[in-house]
Amino acid sequence: MSLDPLLTQARLLDAADPLAPLRARFALPRDAQGEPLTYLCGHSLGLAPLDARRLIEEELDDWANLGVEGHHRARRPWIGYAELLQDGLAQLAGARRDEVVAMNSLTVNLHLMMASFYRPQGKRIAIVVEEGAFSSDRHAVVSQIQWHGLDPAQALTELAPPRGQDLIDESQLTELLAARGDEVALVLWPGVQYRTGQAFDLGRITAAAHRAGAHCGFDLAHGMGNLPLALHDDGADFAVWCGYKYLNGGPGALAGAFVHDRHARSTLPRLAGWWGHDPASRFRMEPGFVPAPGAGGWQVSNPPILSATPLLASLQLFAEAGLPGLQAKSRALTAFLEAALRERYAQALEVVTPGRPEARGCQLSLRVRAGREKGRKVIASLEAQGIVADWREPDIVRVAPVPLYNRFEDAARLVAGLDVALAAP
């Protein structure tokens, strides 16, 4: 079967894509011959914005030339560095400026948020999560339960998809909350499930949690920079995310958190540090802790400038692209890939990710129907062909055409690569 028609169609779509020039603003990983790889792994590590190098060099220069003075006199004074990221993050989160903060790493932020928003009392002790949650999230949740002297066997409620299925319907969660809501202290849910790529209706989940009298928080590791988000209007109590997946902040980049306005002056206990102190009096260094209003009041330490800098470069590209345009391209690109996969490989691959555009971001999770052994060969073959995807046990290939830097041609190349990979013995 000739795949040329698909490639031709893809190139026409790329030629008509107003966001296509953004690809040239990223460094593309290359093979040994210097040819760019077909990179479809932005769900794991986003590509490097070319501007990141210049911006980091500027910080290194300011440090070299100014030393401690750089806190105030650097071209981007370090003392207010986290605030430089706020507008861009607020846009992506669908939040007000003071509802977001760039800080720490994802799991650390999850702990900080649970320190405030998981307050088990009486019979209301449960944290509801999805079964099969990302390992780090589960470790964090279990250890928080134990931290309160409680037994995870009693306080952890894990919700699984119906038997034999991959996807959870939000109504399973709303039914659980309607039936047993008075036992639930916190619902912690992903924006996008990392293995299946399923996206959830955050407003519906929040409303159900609040009706039950529970707090509701979201892990947006795979949501920020990928889904259209409206955290403020959806009413989430908190959310956390990392900086290195769709946010392209670089390995281990500065992460972030959202805390809803209604908690801006919260008196809930928190794990405090000087950077969360009201900036107006932070440097008086007095013993009493006066939290800054808003999400910034959950900061602990002064931010790592060198890990925050690439995020600035990336958020600038999001701003240039504009979120509605990115969203439209994302849907078109993922639908293009999905249609080609369904048409050609329905026998060999199951698209696990929901087909409805509201129920997914850009990621597609593909089950290799022949099982694990064949699946490992498929991913190895793709790699040998210069196509970067990844593998989740036991049988899932994950790919993400990212609208900031991927082309329709990349989707066509994956389809051609799968032709070779699936045909091999």
Ligand X SMILES: *Cc1c(COP(=O)(O)O)cnc(C)c1O
State how far the Cα of 77 lies from the Cα of 92, in Å rounded to an integer.
24
Region 188-207 residues binding ligand X, contact defined as CB under 6 A = 190, 194
Question: Which of residues 118 and 134 has its CB atom nearest to ligand X in the complex?
Answer: 134
Other Cβ atoms closer than 10 A to 143? 12
Contact between 242 and ligand X by CB under 6 A: the answer reads yes
Q: Which residue, 187 or 221, is less far from ligand X as judged by CB?
A: 221
Q: What secondary structure does DSSP assign to 96-152, as a single string?
A: -GGGEEE-S-HHHHHHHHHHHH---BTTB-EEEEETT--HHHHHHHHHHHHHTT--H
- Shortest distance, position 54 Cβ to ligand X, whole Å: 26
Asked if residue 363 binds ligand X (CB under 6 A), the reply is no
Closest contact distance (angstroms) between CB of 424 and ligand X is: 31
Choose the binding region for ligand X from 45-53, 129-137, 257-265, 297-305 (rule: CB under 6 A). Answer: 129-137
Q: What is 269-286 written as a DSSP string?
A: -----GGGB-TTTGGG--
Nearest distance in Å: CB 222, ligand X: 5
Determine if 137 is a binding residue for ligand X (CB under 6 A).
yes
Q: Which helix (H) or strand (E) holds 388?
A: strand 387-388
Closest distance to ligand X from the beta carbon of 243 (Å): 8
Nearest to ligand X of 99, 219 (CB atom): 219
Task: Decide if residue 129 touches ligand X (CB under 6 A).
Answer: no
Check binding of 26 to ligand X (CB under 6 A).
no
Stretch that binds ligand X, among 79-87, 104-112, 344-352, 403-411 (CB under 6 A): 104-112
DSSP 329-357: HHHHHHHHHHHHHHHHHTTTEEE-S-SSG
Q: Is 106 in the site for ligand X (CB under 6 A)?
A: yes
- Exposure of 205 in the CB half-sphere (CA atoms within 13 A): 27
Give the torsion sign (CA, 316, 319, 323, 324): negative
- Residue span 41-80 as binding mask against ligand X, x where in contact by CB under 6 A, dash where not: ----------------------------------------
Which H or E run contains 205? helix 202-211
H or E stretch covering 157: strand 156-159
For 160, which DSSP code?
A: P
Residues 325 to 344 in contact with ligand X, rule: CB under 6 A? none
Structure tokens at 208: 């159900």
Question: C-alpha distances in angstroms, 182 versus 169, 187, 206, 211, 311?
Answer: 21, 12, 15, 10, 41
- Choose between 194 and 318: whose C-beta lies nearer to ligand X: 194
117 binds ligand X (CB under 6 A): no
* Interface residue with ligand X, options 136, 302, 381, 385 (CB under 6 A): 136
Near ligand X in 207-226, by CB under 6 A: 219, 221-222
Positions in the binding site for ligand X (CB under 6 A): 105-107, 134, 136-137, 190, 194, 219, 221-222, 242
